[in-house]
Structure 1
């Protein structure tokens, strides 16, 4: 099955969002073998009667300026252009996984003040970088803000913002205000000149909603809300929620001023106003109100600035007990469609691996694993083979951390179904050891390598080709730990066996000899038994 591609380079996978102007897709960059996000925009949705080439030129100019926003809170822009085959503009960006900001807004449970302030403060840092270019977002709203697992804010859709210069044509239809009515500034509603202060007004709307749990202005339709933005003063926060600090209420009302020149000077001034409500480094997190353990904490970047990345949790597997699997699998039979999907996953992943597109190969296999596992069982031979190939693709692509828990789970599964000395069980144990070695887990890797060697010795002996390679890996790992005594003993014994079996001209024999000579020249503590 041929995958739809954009710009002859970006293979579309899943639609992850849609709006009035286009769709957003999870895609693969076939050149760099990585996931990206592709925004597809129909020229007709932007302006009618304008040639696609002209719109593409304007769009690319804006994308270039957007790409200059060098801030971690803005997804990187990789590419932009016109897909002539589909007659669509496309924007290729960093793929961001996170929780939309609107998921944190609950009319029945308020967020802690520190959380609301932390969200707004992070948005301020993004706006300060964008406005310095200057680029105005024009459609800042909770749906355009994602919160990553570590609580960091990512502001999306700067890619369609207009540049504040007269020589760059806006991408909006003439006379039509651009924005969302709940967060649209009075000047946007009235079609007046839009400035960075328009984004600050939208930020005030967002902060108001984060604190109170409902929008600044309601209304049954866009027209009613637009009218309120122009003509109605917002209800002060403390009239709705008396515990809101006076200073925070004042800041929000300043942001919501009808006249743009009455709002704070810039995003930096807003950030300064939020500082008293942000936690200090080392403070414990607030967990009151709408906060749950599953929600990313936006205060983390302030409480623990520049903290190391937390070790990822192991991904859930499809493991079940052997007894449960055997009883369930006995009454299952693969459908024709499922068999075809498995076959296609193998063929497609093989082609991708040959092209060295390892991440895509793993993704193709993963898409087949779960439906196959649900029907056939997690320890069905076809499912185990899919999982083994996916784990191998991740290792070849250098994703050792992601592959390790799968190799551990597969080793246990193959040991149950085929025995601990079966080829697949031993290979999974060995690959797990390699992953641990690459991740710097030397003691665990050594223990696992010795476990592999014990299994090989039980079936093939100590001098088999696989056993010799594992013994070499053990010796090298001892060297990496500066354990010269154990390294010398392991490698010397291996050399003696290789010399007898393969001869001194054998490539592996020469490699081990070179390592021993290196140990001799460098020196190190000698064992009295040597």
Structure 2
């Protein structure tokens, strides 16, 4: 480690942890006069490909900003990132948490008291509820990424790091290696398919099973065996390992471990509600008769003596009402025309700096007066709204972008026809937002409808059709529908190679997905 302060301000004082992803140090911020945690990420070298350093820096900034929207005490904040001049070391500067790794709570000889395990899972679910609302997906939830603070508060670490280190741009992991830890990796991660909030729920099921049983969910001796087990083998029910586990809690764990994302609970709120019967009530004393309480570690049930709940679900939006159209829109006034041009230019500049929320605000300030003056379905107004929806999509605000793209698609269908390029593009973007929010079945149906239209008006090998086929294939793969995914991806690979060559980024990704399918994780095992 360098003896001098990192970036001239962060001093390294004491090594706290030495793990697979990186070393964690207790540090000190000399500028803001506060203790910090500093993580040196392993395999973060870009020295062999320095042209990727700028893209990596942008990715970190984007992911850190999205992660910063998670407003919850169970999420330690990331303060800074330093990629040193050699491009060989990435230091993440984070909030310092005084706590104990959940990995220390796992003991095969003495499984946790049921209330303790339920309290950890409920607190993690609470954290995930706030993250998924953003939405941010953890992608690598496991005991070593969970701390229990001295007051019993559970802290979930490393949000955003798995996304920063994903392979398609930075190549920071071995080629073809999925992001995640094999013992806690959901089937869709093994296949290389689309990641959704339900991916985190599967990992939570693995963690809860381990806390209650004292052993890993699957124990194959190598990575291939673990991946096969997660995709194809049923988990051993908890009550066979520990008969005193309540049947309802065993049922929740098995539900969390559903092979397909949509077999799992609908959201983290459902998980929390199903855990409530196993949590202490306000004023309860620690339980002593349900298992030996570990010594020397914080009690995660303490928080529930003054309980808090995850944020409430969003209310279902009211049905969209047709927006009244002004019968005779007035001509564009000169000043409004200038305001629109200035807003577009300013939003573009802000987007170049990844300042997405500010770009949304700038466009919003001109959209309302433009709609009043020109009519809500004037082409200039729709263009502004489409730009705002695109900014939200790029900034990761899928929850706000989805209804805007839906409304725009309907408007363009009325103005230019349902098969118009604008209507198709907006419907496809709305579907991509649905996929990011975990609404995979709806996303597949909508993308398929758009692809049918594109095939009717254009070539199956057009740029638009190729992108849609790619989206559909990867979503099918995430759902475990590997035979259907193969039918989509094999001819798509041939088309992409014919047009762009085998080194094209999409061609490489499809080839890797097909290679995973060939491994046969979804095929019945011997004797099945």
Q: Which of the five TM-score ranges fits, normalised by the shorter chain?
A: 0.5 to 0.7
Structure 1 contact 162–171 (Cα < 8 Å) conserved: no
Q: SS at 1:116's partner residue? A: helix
Q: Does 1:23 align with 2:53?
A: no
Give the TM-score normalised by structure 2. Answer: 0.54
Contact in 1 for aligned 2:56/2:169 (Cα 8 Å): no
Q: Residues of 1 paired with 2:182 and 2:144: CA distance?
A: 13
1:330-349 correspondence runs (5 A): none
Larger Rg: 1
Question: How is 1:63-212 mapped onto 2 (pairs within 5 angstroms)?
Answer: 63-84=64-85, 87-162=88-163, 175-212=176-213
On the 8 A contact 1:212/1:237 being kept in 2, the answer is: yes
SS at match of 1:28: strand
SS of residue matched to 1:194 = coil
What whole-Å deviation, never above 9, does each CA across 1:79-119 have from its counterpart, x for those lacking one? 22422266422221101121111111111112221111000
Instruction: Indicate conservation of the 8 Å contact 2:184/2:206, yes or no.
Output: yes
CA contact (8 A) 1:147 1:153 kept: yes
SS of the residue corresponding to residue 5 of structure 1 reads coil
Distance 1:118 1:126, change over 3 A: same
How big is each residue's C-alpha offset from its partner over 1:24-49, in whole Å with a ceiling of 9 and x where there is no partner? 22111001111101122356458963
What's the CA shift string for 1:158-215, capped at 9, x where partnerless?
140328x9x9989756532011111111111111111111110000000001111111
TM-score, structure 1 normalization: 0.54
Match of 2:261 in 1: 260
Corresponding residue pairs, total: 304
Tell me the CA shift for residue 120 of structure 1: 0.1
Cα offset, 1:22, TM superposition = 3.0
The 1-side partners of 2:170 and 2:126 are apart by 27
How far does the alpha carbon of each residue in 1:224-269 deviate from its partner, in whole angstroms, 9 at most, with x for none? Answer: 1111101100011112222211110110000000011110011111
Match of 2:62 in 1: 61
1:274 aligns with 2:275: yes
Output the CA distance in 2 between the equivalents of 1:129 and 1:55. Answer: 26
* Cα pair 2:56 2:170 within 8 Å, conserved: no
Stretches of structure 1 that go unaligned for 5 or more consecutive residues are 307-530
C-alpha distance in 2 between matches for 1:110 and 1:265? 28
Residue 12 of structure 1: how far off its partner (Å): 1.4
User: Structure 2, unaligned stretches of length 5 or more?
Assistant: 309-528
Secondary structure in structure 2 of the residue aligned to 1:189: helix
1:118-517 alignment, distance < 5 Å: 118-162=119-163, 175-288=176-289, 289-305=291-307
SS of residue matched to 1:147: strand
Distance in 2 (alpha carbons) for counterparts of 1:21 and 1:104:
21
Q: 2:43·2:172 contact (CA, 8 Å) conserved in 1?
A: no
Q: Say if 2:16 and 2:24, in contact at 8 Å, map to a contact too.
A: yes
**Root mean square deviation, CA, Å:** 2.6
The CA distance in 2 between the partners of 1:299 and 1:248, in whole Å, is 17
Q: Is the 8 A contact 1:47 1:173 kept in 2?
A: no
